[in-house]
Structure 1
């Protein structure tokens, strides 16, 4: 990609400003557009920033570390120490532990050995550190002799080196953890500073307990709330025993903010209609779209219906590639590895790393966006860091190259997330149904006050990532009479929190239960920003069935299926939903994603998990192959009975039920439903049925 960029916001209110950051090899053109999968709705729009720009290439400054606003001195004679656990000691690169630039301080060298550098002179122990082991490292210069010592916590095997060295001055800024992969705990420089990482774990500040008060700031969001060298396992919540969580895990590929210079901004007119827009960037050899949503100002509405853009889910999947093609120091523990089952589809299997020829074939099938993300080391919440640990932070302040209006997911050969949700917006626009757009960020911040302005809220196709504040607002709104249309699958699934000190960053930790791309380490299953337990909402007593009637049951990447209507059984409460549709008519045997309305990720009714007893089971998509597998959270003992041909739980359920105060919920239980709406220019039975529900929900007398 010769031109690429990002915006500082994913949703911007009418009358507010949004900024755009661009990296380009040469001159490029920027233009405001209204994206659509329908040529009739696609627009080029006037905007003050439209025009040509001289591009500049902007770098990606990955790598977490601690920086200091005040200089940290290194005395002529000194002694410093720290507990260290490396996670990629054999990476073949210089890794900083406690350093002044690249010539002074304590490093791991390219062989994984602790190495003291004084004025560029080097002294290493000669014994590489083992991955995943805690060591006490000490080094310094005393009496004209330099020394460096490593002592493993669990085993014998101290290694040391000494040599004569002359003192030297240092001028570079001091940093901790620069380009390091692993944990550091209790670093100190005798007589200068002693940093206690157990203080302020929920913040981005590092506390110095010495009289100098040389406090530091975390850069690029390393992991806190991680176990230290003295963790006993008796407590799993870092807030109860912070002294056992006095470590920070750094990664050389952490990235929370690219920090690019802004190229232009846009003051959104107060009369620009709500919806999805994009800045189209074009240069001689490429194109990119930077999408954003225009939302109403706080306290104002333009329609009684709102589309809830799942921006948290967009971020969770942003730059996702499941680690394919990324080098790992050892076989990855992630269960998500793609194996070819045909020329067009892939199944998830728990396997060793892919053979080189298979990985190469998958890489060749990916689009330019995916390859750019891979080449530039960007990570989604589904990817592993290069040291093999899962990536628990994602940020909007970086190029989100697969969050594009016309993106096709490499493993699906079709739209996913934002590009799939554009089908829902296209349907609303084509059928002339007035609507606002709101975002997950808005809902998390404004809560019930935001939802209470609307009679109906329509979800996206895959609203998987929700914060507790969002769930609280939805539950209260439904109890107050709100009407929710859940047009997706695998929704309301993972505990998700914006970091309080960096709201552009989402934290998602994948605990030891649930269908997951990687697994959090023991004791590291609480979010560092809020302290709350991570994982599936199901395991915190908030399964999606309790709010929308259905919840995640199976997933697979193969042909989707149509829905077959369930017998009415004399209950005609929802008969109006099928107006204009024959009783024996299959619903959704077509669609832009996998060819049908029921597919990819599926939700089902489960009364034990909270489906209301009066919920109407309207229709079911079933008959899936064994490529579709049930979710692991429902497998208590290993067996071979989770495939679509043998497990009746592998299905998608279409559901309707009433809530108090004339509220109601309609749920489709399938990611593919929304991408079937626009088939045949919206003249189809998925469109007709969904329109019946929306029109009834929006009616004043319903």
Structure 2
């Protein structure tokens, strides 16, 4: 009988797993998984106690019902994973440090601002040898989440510092291994005129821990795990198929590790990003926060999910800054920011592919993504290739720009279009000058206009001014725009994910951004 399949945390099949099934009669039946992770055993239908073990993975005990459909057994590879819960808090709040590590480990708290700043040691893992690794649940881990060691020991908890910002808990094992767990700390009351949103909803949409994200198996886990990802994943096996051609997509849990956010210890904020996801996720946000602190701007950091709950007091701030990739927003967030801008707020959008898709935060800490069938959006090189526009209203009506797929995964400098605009004051540029040539983007080389780019749209507000455009081939360059009057408010959008990666490297990008912030703050 086919009992099920066994796969790892990435839903890749594991061959030659030793499996032992024990039914009500107490007699164990042993078998091994095949090359495809398939588990076949000579057993009758019913409930069994199951033991699974293989070198390189954490062994575990579980229970399963044979004969009711293939069971998706999961084993965790022998590497460090973890997360804090909650992943975002206010100063003075307590979070649990949930870690699975195959080795003894120690913990420490660091703040990622102008540089890496050691805040405090947090002790060692409070578990016996061999008990520091925690089994992975079976089934759709990306949807169910994991509840690892929820705070059994005082040493596995941490109190948020008074000073807000982006923090990481470092997990260092006794053989030199390292893993960083991000933690967003917001103030208990506003402390500065500038609020910055960390894109935790986008982080969740890209998080494929468990074998599924909004990009990897977005419509759900396949019936059997992958053997060769290059051959079995849909966007390799069916290149003619778009990413989102379904109407509904299963939710993604926030309560799980997000290894893409860990920033290698050898990566410095003044150097290039060293991982594939770093150029548009937490490592990029770190560059933005470092620039703000070095330029002397005080700011309060908030998670997008906190804004969705109505817990960001926008009226207390003059400027709201969006980072490099705020792609996934709830409609409630959109309405709050739109109304705040119309009432006089200043919005500085330093990213690209912004507000492109509506999501919902469900009550069980899961994210529901409303991609829809994107074939209905038309060709990707048309204006406003936007899931948000199709479902709600145009984000370009707020940001001044909207996304299309031209320029995808390219990068180039910007070309000045409106040199007399106040944003370029003191930069010395002229019409046609290039800027944004220098960048810390270690993934997509070429300049500040790139990765994914937004352009002027038929829905851009009247009076929207094009300040500069990226010189990416085929019309793929970002449009850097100023919306001078949106109600009583004002907006500047850079139109590019890659822009933030030039803040610490390119003098004109830095000066332009400073001009915008100074102008926005001076008008308060």
Q: TM-score, normalised by structure 2?
A: 0.71
CA 1:540 to 1:33, structure 2 compared with 1: closer, same or farther past 3 Å?
same
CA 1:583 to 1:456, structure 2 compared with 1: closer, same or farther past 3 Å?
same
Of residues 144, 160, 166 in structure 2, which corresponds to 1:268?
Answer: 160
Aligned equivalent of 1:46: 120
CA 1:253 to 1:306, structure 2 compared with 1: closer, same or farther past 3 Å?
closer
Aligned equivalent of 1:6: 83
Question: Is 1:560 the counterpart of 2:407 in the alignment?
Answer: no
Task: Tell me the SS of whatever aligns to 2:147.
Answer: coil
Task: Tell me the SS of whatever aligns to 1:495.
Answer: strand
Task: Tell me the SS of whatever aligns to 1:656.
Answer: strand
Count of equivalent residues: 410
Aligned equivalent of 2:260: 402
Aligned equivalent of 2:184: 293
Question: Is 1:513 the counterpart of 2:374 in the alignment?
Answer: yes
Of residues 426, 450, 456 in structure 2, which corresponds to 1:579?
Answer: 426
Residues 484-495 of structure 1: matches in 2 within 5 Å? 484-495=347-358
CA 1:687 to 1:455, structure 2 compared with 1: closer, same or farther past 3 Å?
same
Of residues 412, 417, 439 in structure 2, which corresponds to 1:591?
Answer: 439
Give the CA deviation at 1:555: 5.1
Of residues 525, 533, 536 in structure 1, which corresponds to 2:387?
Answer: 536
Task: Tell me the SS of whatever aligns to 1:255.
Answer: helix
Q: CA deviation digits over 1:506-537, x for unaligned, max 9?
A: 00142112699xxxxxxxxxxxxxxxxxx811
Aligned equivalent of 1:460: 323
RMSD between superposed Cα atoms in Å: 3.3
Q: In structure 2, what is the Cα distance between the partners aligned to 1:311 and 1:613?
A: 32
Q: In structure 1, what is the Cα distance between the partners aligned to 2:168 and 2:150?
A: 16
Aligned equivalent of 1:29: 106
1:337 and 1:351 in contact (8 A); partners too = no
**Which residues of structure 2 form unaligned runs of 5+?**
1-77, 219-224, 378-385
Task: Tell me the SS of whatever aligns to 1:446.
Answer: coil
Q: Which is helix-richer, 1 or 2?
A: 2
Task: Tell me the SS of whatever aligns to 1:688.
Answer: helix
Residues 55-204 of structure 1: matches in 2 within 5 Å? 56-63=132-139
Residues 354-433 of structure 1: matches in 2 within 5 Å? 392-406=250-264, 412=276, 415-433=279-297
Aligned equivalent of 1:315: 204
Question: Is 1:549 the counterpart of 2:413 in the alignment?
Answer: no
2:217 and 2:233 in contact (8 A); partners too = no
Question: Is 1:478 the counterpart of 2:341 in the alignment?
Answer: yes
Q: In structure 2, what is the Cα distance between the partners aligned to 1:27 and 1:391?
A: 38
**Which residues of structure 1 form unaligned runs of 5+?**
64-251, 339-348, 354-381, 517-534, 625-643
Question: Is 1:259 the counterpart of 2:147 in the alignment?
Answer: yes
Aligned equivalent of 1:436: 300
Residues 165-244 of structure 1: matches in 2 within 5 Å? none
Q: In structure 1, what is the Cα distance between the partners aligned to 2:199 and 2:275?
A: 21
Aligned equivalent of 1:281: 171
Of residues 602, 610, 623 in structure 1, which corresponds to 2:472?
Answer: 623
Task: Tell me the SS of whatever aligns to 1:279.
Answer: strand
CA 1:59 to 1:390, structure 2 compared with 1: closer, same or farther past 3 Å?
farther
**Worse overlay, 279-288 or 507-516:** 507-516
Task: Tell me the SS of whatever aligns to 1:392.
Answer: coil
Task: Tell me the SS of whatever aligns to 2:183.
Answer: strand
Q: CA deviation digits over 1:183-221, x for unaligned, max 9?
A: xxxxxxxxxxxxxxxxxxxxxxxxxxxxxxxxxxxxxxx
Q: CA deviation digits over 1:454-496, x for unaligned, max 9?
A: 1001101000001010011011001100000000000101110
Task: Tell me the SS of whatever aligns to 2:89.
Answer: strand
Q: TM-score, normalised by structure 1?
A: 0.54
Task: Tell me the SS of whatever aligns to 1:618.
Answer: strand
CA 1:614 to 1:557, structure 2 compared with 1: closer, same or farther past 3 Å?
closer
